[in-house]
Amino acid sequence: MPAKKLKEFLDSQAVKYVQLTHSVAYTSHEIAQSLHISGRKIAKTVIVFIDGKMAMAVLPANRSVNFDHFAKAIGANKIELATEGQFKGMFPDCELGAMPPFGNLYEMDVYVDEHLRDDEIFFNACSHSELIEMSYPDFERLVKPKVVKLT
């Protein structure tokens, strides 16, 4: 079951979504393989510090953050990867590392890679065994991310 906070938010917005259950997987690459979904459609959420402020970087599972491109795209001086220990308490309703790309639910800015914009998006539903599928336009409408070049 997706985290209560996420499910209530999606339901309150009358968004159509599908909940998918899969065997336990800890990386977006493993999830893509187990569900036979293209890695370009699975959104992985990476927690970063942008000039000292925590934020979400959301990108396709088959790509990696290019910190130089990212910093240049948003005019930041320094962007660095957060450790699990640094964000452990930020998502109390989620398993560690399985947070959905909904920074608006956690008072965090969200940056989405320009390559993720597609018809649909798949992402962790606060669990290492559950995924949500929904339309990308609905995701963008609800989260209002900044779309930039992350990869």
Output the pTM of the full model. Answer: 0.91
Q: Range of 47's domain? A: 4-148
pLDDT digits (tens, 9 = 90+) for 81-92: 999 999 988 999
Q: Give 1's pLDDT tier (boundaries 50, 70, 90).
A: very low
Token pair for residue 85?
């220990």
pLDDT digits (tens, 9 = 90+) for 59-82: 998 899 999 999 999 999 999 999
Q: What is the CATH number of the domain that holds 34?
A: 3.90.960.10
State the DSSP string of the chain.
---HHHHHHHHHTT--EEEEE-S--SSHHHHHHHHT--TTTEEEEEEEEETTEEEEEEEETT----HHHHHHHHT-S-EEEPPHHHHGGG-TTS-TT---S-GGGTT-EEEEEGGG-SSEEEEE-SSTTEEEEEEHHHHHHHH-PEEE---
Residue of 150, 145, 143, 122 whose CA lies nearest to 25 = 122
Question: Can you name the residues that pair with 110 across neighbouring β-strands?
Answer: 56
pLDDT digits (tens, 9 = 90+) for 129-144: 899 999 999 999 999 9
Give the number of domains in the chain.
1
Burial class (CB in 10 A: 0-12, 13-18, 19+), 43: buried
27 close to 46: Cβ distance less than 8 angstroms: no
pLDDT digits (tens, 9 = 90+) for 101-130: 999 999 999 999 998 877 899 999 999 889
Q: How far apart are CA 14 and CA 21, in angstroms?
A: 21
